[in-house]
Structure 1
Amino acid sequence: MGNRLPSRRTLLRSGAALAAWGLIEGCSSTGTEEGAGPTASSSAAQPAGTGAPTSALRQTMPAESMPHTRTFMSWPALEEVWGDQLPGVREDIAGLAQAVAGFEPVVLMARPDQADQARQMCGSSVEVIDLMVDDLWARDTGPTFVIGDQGLAGVDLNFNGWGGKQVHTADAQVARTLLERYGIPRIQAPVTGEGGAIEVDGEGTLMATESSWVNENRNPGKSRDLIEADLKELFGVRKVLWVEGVAGQDITDCHIDALARFAEPGVVVLHTPAPDTPPDVWTTASAQARQVLGSATDAEGRTLRIVDLPEPDFDLVEGRGKDFLATYLNYYVVNGGVIVPRFGDRAADDRAVGVIGDLHPGRKVTQVSINTIASGGGGIHCATQQQPQRPPTSPSAAP
């Protein structure tokens, strides 16, 4: 695999090593603006690039299944991160972008000196824009979009390299820069986290892992209750369902989008280890999530139905490694379809298509091979970020 730096599921490149590259970002884990912390209120919608709130905005994050205006993606930039897998991961991203573009517009961010290559590999169905990025994880580095009475806004979650574990010189600025480019108001969050660390049902419920939020590497000194209050205000939810997750074993500290997802309100899809998997921290996390969510109710008082989504057999997966994220749960719902990973275990691949198709009736299921992306510890959902459409407003009644 060559001399490769730690990926999303490899732990703990030291801060000293990052500093030696000269790539460590100068922001704290609580803010990105020239050493200043976030704004005091997460409900203050700000024009991109300004620090002054303009108006109070009550906003909500729509479910992923609601219509999208477009999908944002990022072109992997750094050989230091991917080593000799860089050509392969670019092929995976190009294939994924083309698959998504079969359903809705795709805007792919790429460094100016790499944009032409991205255009050639992705083809005319994908719009490539010049924008400085470090890696492909648009779910985490880009804005998380919300909709309020005043329209669309983007929440900037102050990306800090998953708690200072990864290169984020350019990626720390992606949310701000992208929102500036599109003229979308920016909400700077009073917490630090990533888009893959939240999952909403669109009806007032959010799921999250404690390991990726109540963590000194992102939110030092903040209690779960304080973080929960911020998440409720940022994303317009009334109830947060917490599962433990796993801290310190992968670079994301166990994002929820690789553990549990909402298929619809009241229905949770759970990543399930393959049969005969030896007990470890990941099997324990899945079991703990099942116990908590199986006895929980959502914001509407519904008892949650849990649907298992088993992982593939590692012995049948090509190109696997110790960082490989072998979960079908990291799928992406698009306009009229669902994009699902294909790993090479034919029986498990087919089973995943059946389960996910049943959970999303009326949507075309498209499978995409992503084994190089997965070898970096992420998946389809990690590499995509939806911009939701604002629902049409009802015409005013005639006087």
Structure 2
Amino acid sequence: MKTQHDGNENINGDGNGNGGRRGISRRTLLARTGAAAAALAAGPVLGGIQPAVAASWRVPGEETPHKRTWMSWPSSYTIWGNLLSKIQADIAKLAKEIAKYEPVVMCADGSSAASQARTMCGSTVTVIGSVPVSDCWMRDTGPLFRLDGAGGVDAFGLNFNAWGENATSFYGIPASAYDKDRAVARNLTAYAGVPFAQAAVVGEGGGIEYDGDGTLMATESCWVNSNRNPGKTRSQIEAELLARFGASKMIWLPGVTGQDVTDGHIDGTARYIGPGVVMVQLAGAVRPDVWTENAQAMHDVLVNATDARGRRLQVLTIEGPDVLPRISRGKQSQFLSSYMNWTVTNGAVITAQFGDTAKDAAARTAIASAFGRPVVQLNLDNLYGNGGGGAHCVTMQEPNH
């Protein structure tokens, strides 16, 4: 495993400086140092997984200022086959757009992949070859950064296991193909010099939403699932997530099990705009009924929910596209037609456009109004279609500290 720094890897400044398999889709089956660091290094439990730290540590909301965005460069032919170059093109397009608003650090799997990423991403994106990666899903594999309100930063990992090993059961991708991604959270924080601990649950960042003000939202289908947390009750999982995120209330949403590789990640359907405000995408005409019904069920829970501060949530809605003119009819049911899978940057919200002129425009207007910042819509059809994930799935923000 490569650990030495390649050239062009200084990230400490804040300058803006499947073997031929076709149609693979992630959705196919359809610090403080001292006392805080010492606490993180407390005696191991559950086979070496460390207990959560209480106190004032919290994961800030994604709309708060960022130090940078972390991404990872896909370079595995075993995972992507002949689609690899198309996925790389979309990752590069997105990285260059984010870099207009905040620093981007792209982790690539060694010097050869790093060289390719630098060529495709250009000089505005910092590429490092010192944090080995398997694939591009940094939201699910990367660390979640916490602040203590007094200048301290630490991070934790969610023990990524390739979506409950669904990558193998759905697509036949060898479990070993994701070995480097299982260690990304730890390796990235070691590189960045941030204290780190593993959570006592298994899951992914795309399976949970947080407002930074005490409330979490998550889908039961992801977390209360034997492919991730066998033998654990919902209450046990909830307690650990609340402690890790520095929150006090969980809003559980139903989700969908077994219809996609993620078991129904929340970040394609319901997202926080900020404390007390959420947005839900009600499915357009191209989404299969199971996702349409799930979106409505999520909406119905949220309109009756209160958060950790006792506020009744303000629930905004948008609608998904009704047509996907660039996508063949046979692939539309597998396409992640979600405007919700946006990534928030310091200067803009970046999401997708799908070629449905009216719905694209309506989503852009609604998201811009909700956030009070510009919205950039990109054509990322290969990522959202062949990848089944979007801009949020392939990014992880590091908050200012």
- Name the TM tier (shorter chain): 0.7 to 0.9
Deviation at 1:84, TM superposition (A): 2.1
Return the match for 1:355 from 366, 369, 372. 366
Structure-1 residue corresponding to 2:347: 336
Contact 2:26 2:261 in 1 (8 A): yes
Contact 1:59 1:235 in 2 (8 A): yes
Structure 1 unaligned residues grouped into runs of 5+: 13-35, 44-55, 391-399
Tell me the SS of whatever aligns to 2:334: coil
Contact 1:239 1:299 in 2 (8 A): yes
List 4+ stretches of structure 1 deviating above 6 A: none
Tell me the SS of whatever aligns to 1:357: helix
Contact 1:108 1:129 in 2 (8 A): yes
Tell me the SS of whatever aligns to 2:284: coil
Amino acid at match of 2:158: L
Question: Does 2:320 match 1:311?
Answer: yes
Tell me the SS of whatever aligns to 1:208: strand
Deviation at 1:290, TM superposition (A): 1.1
Amino acid at match of 1:306: V
C-alpha separation between the residues in 2 aligned to 1:368 and 1:347?
15
Structure-1 residue corresponding to 2:10: none
Contact 1:101 1:126 in 2 (8 A): yes
Change (3 A) 1:57 1:185: farther
Tell me the SS of whatever aligns to 1:316: coil
Return the match for 2:59 from 44, 58, 61. 61
Contact 1:318 1:344 in 2 (8 A): no
TM-score normalized by structure 1?
Answer: 0.84
Summarize the alignment of residues 241-252 of structure 1 with structure 2, pairs less than 5 Å apart: 241-252=251-262
Return the match for 1:197 from 196, 207, 211. 207
Contact 1:4 1:80 in 2 (8 A): no
C-alpha separation between the residues in 1 aligned to 2:391 and 2:67?
18
Structure-1 residue corresponding to 2:135: 135
Contact 1:214 1:223 in 2 (8 A): yes
Return the match for 1:283 from 271, 289, 292. 292
Cα offsets for 1:33-72 (capped at 9, x unmatched)? xxx73434121xxxxxxxxxxxx76410100011100000
C-alpha separation between the residues in 2 aligned to 1:94 and 1:279?
30
C-alpha separation between the residues in 1 aligned to 2:350 and 2:80?
24
> Once structures 1 and 2 are overlaid, which stretch shifts more, 62-71 or 311-320?
311-320
Tell me the SS of whatever aligns to 1:133: coil
Change (3 A) 1:297 1:38: farther
C-alpha separation between the residues in 2 aligned to 1:123 and 1:157?
31
Change (3 A) 1:279 1:101: closer
C-alpha separation between the residues in 1 aligned to 2:353 and 2:260?
22
Cα offsets for 1:341-387 (capped at 9, x unmatched)? 122222221111101000011x2221221111001110000010000
Structure-2 residue corresponding to 1:20: none
Return the match for 1:4 from 13, 16, 22. 22
Tell me the SS of whatever aligns to 2:178: coil
RMSD between aligned residues:
2.0
Contact 1:296 1:304 in 2 (8 A): yes
Change (3 A) 1:150 1:189: farther
Deviation at 1:242, TM superposition (A): 0.3
Tell me the SS of whatever aligns to 1:248: coil
Amino acid at match of 1:8: R
Decide which structure has greater helix share.
Answer: 2
Structure-1 residue corresponding to 2:171: none
Summarize the alignment of residues 164-313 of structure 1 with structure 2, pairs less than 5 Å apart: 164-166=165-167, 167-275=177-285, 280-313=289-322
Cα offsets for 1:199-246 (capped at 9, x unmatched)? 111211110000000000000011111111101100011110001100
Question: Does 2:337 match 1:323?
Answer: no
Contact 1:5 1:80 in 2 (8 A): no
Amino acid at match of 1:290: H
C-alpha separation between the residues in 1 aligned to 2:291 and 2:275?
25
Contact 2:324 2:355 in 1 (8 A): no
Contact 1:99 1:368 in 2 (8 A): no
Amino acid at match of 1:145: F
How many residues are matched? Answer: 354
Amino acid at match of 2:21: N
Contact 1:57 1:150 in 2 (8 A): no
Change (3 A) 1:278 1:365: closer
Contact 1:317 1:345 in 2 (8 A): no
Structure-2 residue corresponding to 1:154: 155
Deviation at 1:79, TM superposition (A): 1.9
Deviation at 1:315, TM superposition (A): 3.9
C-alpha separation between the residues in 2 aligned to 1:368 and 1:273?
20
Deviation at 1:165, TM superposition (A): 1.7
Contact 1:298 1:304 in 2 (8 A): yes
Contact 1:332 1:380 in 2 (8 A): yes
C-alpha separation between the residues in 2 aligned to 1:158 and 1:106?
24
C-alpha separation between the residues in 1 aligned to 2:25 and 2:165?
13
Amino acid at match of 2:160: F
Tell me the SS of whatever aligns to 1:336: coil
Amino acid at match of 2:85: P
Deviation at 1:316, TM superposition (A): 2.2
Question: Does 2:113 match 1:111?
Answer: no
Amino acid at match of 1:154: A
Contact 2:287 2:337 in 1 (8 A): no
Amino acid at match of 1:151: G
Amino acid at match of 2:123: S
Q: Percent identity?
A: 47
TM-score normalized by structure 2?
Answer: 0.84
Deviation at 1:6, TM superposition (A): 4.3
Deviation at 1:279, TM superposition (A): 6.4
